[in-house]
Amino acid sequence: MIKGIKGVKDILPEETPRWRFIEETARRWAARYGYQEIRIPIFEVTTLFARSIGATTDIVEKEMYTFADRDGTSLTLRPEGTAGTVRAFVEHNRAADPLPQKYFYLGPMFRHERPQAGRLRQFHQFGVEYFGTQDARADIEVMALLWRVLSDLALPDLTLEINSLGTPADRAAYVPILVSFLKSRAARLCANCQRRMETNPLRVLDCKIPECRAATEDAPHLTAHLSPQAKDHFDLVLGGLTALGIPYRLNPRLVRGLDYYCLTAFEITSSHLGAQNAVGAGGRYDGLVEVLGGPNTPAVGFAVGLERISLMLPDQTLPPSAPSVYVASFGSEGGPAGVLLLEQLRRAGVPAQSDYRANTLKAHLRQADRAHCLFAVLLGDDEAKRGSALVRNMKTKVQEDVPLSELPRFFLTAFQAL
């Protein structure tokens, strides 16, 4: 038996309604905030990701699905959506069009990791990118949009954590201060953090090991070393969140993994997700457009994991499924009449189904029950002869005789009344 690829899941019909609901909610809120959909390719030239995400990040170093095209060009399945969106922005010279520009995307991403709860090799993200202003209100808007989507979905126990990574210059000035502090505590740090001290000192602050956290308890905070501009920006962002009634928690240890972030960095976590507790994350990446060959264009954005949302989405949040009619036709005259009726109902816009295997009324009604149909149309030879059918309300069991020609209108009005 040929099986699916490790970490790549089928989304079966039982689950597609919840996915559609999540996607529709995301689209609805994106539209309300004035974001337009962009559809970018699922694969790109490898160097795009290496350059934008950062050559030394885990994603680029060991998690990309990379393969050679026939001419030898190295291609990669997209591990995230920002790189492609920015590439499209630059390639189509969108910066020449009026700014700001606000995009959203929705779709599969690929990372070669060991699967785990809330982590797959093909997973799905909803993300937005706001191009063209450094104004803190853009940061606020993006976070508000994310908060609204997740709140609308009634996801439990969400926390918005926020930090400022400062400007690149701020970080350059801060890192030596942090490193010298870490060196003084090196003995108390785990082996990983000892290594991270060299490769990515900021990450040491985000280590989950209690000993490391204790050792870095009184580490100097980046937020205490912000330039005046960065500090102002951060204060405006926090003030804006408060004004909009969006609760947040300052997390000076929060560091985003991707190279391109600056200033605002945020993450929404939930305690209902197991070890992978981040639902979504984002931040500002003012330098990225330029890095990818475009004009200097500030930008903010976020991405959320749809699998992680789905894991948390309470069933009660889902809207009820669309009402449907079951056609229970049988007999030498009822059978053919049922086939016609099915087609007429469907063409009139009434969802209608039947089971062609069923030969008895009992079998038909069992199917109607199982399919949760609101009505069953009982159509045997007697009914076919007189040109009508019995409409049975599956809940109340009340039956009434309705002429065949009037059935489409009958159901349209019945469904409208729901």
Partner RNA sequence: GUGGAUGUAGCUCAGUUGGUUAGAGCGCCGGAUUGUGGAUCCGGAGGUCGCGGGUUCGAAACCCGUCAUCCACCCCA
Interacting residue with RNA among 7, 100, 323, 351 (CB under 7 A): 7
CB 311 to RNA: min, Å: 9
Applying CB under 7 A, the site for RNA has a residue count of: 71
The edge-to-edge listing of strands for the beta sheet with 325-329 is 352-353, 325-329, 375-379, 388-393, 399-403
3 binds RNA (CB under 7 A): yes
**Assigned token pair, 385:** 């002869």
CB 243 to RNA: min, Å: 25
Interacting residue with RNA among 18, 27, 171, 203 (CB under 7 A): 203
CB 110 to RNA: min, Å: 9
209 binds RNA (CB under 7 A): yes
134 binds RNA (CB under 7 A): no
Stretch that binds RNA, among 148-156, 251-259, 313-321, 335-343 (CB under 7 A): 251-259
Please check whether residue 52 is in contact with residue 288, taking contact to mean a CB–CB distance below 8 angstroms.
Answer: yes
**Which residues lie closer than 8 Å to 288 by C-beta, 6 or more apart?**
52, 82, 86, 260, 299
CB 241 to RNA: min, Å: 18
DSSP bridge partners of 266: 162, 282
Stretch that binds RNA, among 158-166, 242-250, 292-300, 376-384 (CB under 7 A): 376-384
DSSP bridge partners of 66: 76
**Which residues lie closer than 8 Å to 222 by C-beta, 6 or more apart?**
163, 164, 165, 166, 170, 171, 174, 178, 202, 252
The edge-to-edge listing of strands for the beta sheet with 299-305 is 36-37, 101-110, 122-131, 299-305, 278-284, 262-270, 158-164, 249-250
23 binds RNA (CB under 7 A): no
179 binds RNA (CB under 7 A): no
60 binds RNA (CB under 7 A): no
CB 348 to RNA: min, Å: 22
Strands 158-164 and 262-270: antiparallel
Cα(136)–Cα(232) distance, rounded to whole angstroms? 9
Select 18 or 231, whichever has its Cβ closest to RNA.
18
Cα(336)–Cα(417) distance, rounded to whole angstroms? 30
Site for RNA in 295-324 (CB under 7 A): 303-305, 307-308
Cα(394)–Cα(398) distance, rounded to whole angstroms? 8
336 binds RNA (CB under 7 A): no
CB 295 to RNA: min, Å: 25
**Which residues lie closer than 8 Å to 277 by C-beta, 6 or more apart?**
269, 270, 271
Stretch that binds RNA, among 159-167, 222-230, 270-278, 285-293 (CB under 7 A): 270-278
Interacting residue with RNA among 57, 101, 163, 297 (CB under 7 A): 57
Please check whether residue 399 is in contact with residue 385, taking contact to mean a CB–CB distance below 8 angstroms.
Answer: no
Interacting residue with RNA among 172, 360, 400, 403 (CB under 7 A): 360
For residue 153, what are the CA distances in angstroms to 132, 174, 271, 287?
29, 39, 16, 33
Strands 36-37 and 101-110: parallel
370 binds RNA (CB under 7 A): yes
12 binds RNA (CB under 7 A): no
208 binds RNA (CB under 7 A): yes
Interacting residue with RNA among 106, 150, 365, 407 (CB under 7 A): 365
Select 232 or 406, whichever has its Cβ closest to RNA.
406
Select 1 or 243, whichever has its Cβ closest to RNA.
1
Stretch that binds RNA, among 158-166, 275-283, 317-325, 407-415 (CB under 7 A): 275-283
CB 91 to RNA: min, Å: 23
Select 94 or 334, whichever has its Cβ closest to RNA.
334
Site string for RNA, 99-118 (x = CB under 7 A): ------------x-xxxxxx
383 binds RNA (CB under 7 A): yes
Burial zone of 119 (CB within 10 Å; 0-12 exposed, 13-18 middle, 19+ buried): middle
Report cis status (omega within 30 of 0) of the bond before 156.
no
CB 347 to RNA: min, Å: 24
Stretch that binds RNA, among 57-65, 244-252, 345-353, 403-411 (CB under 7 A): 57-65
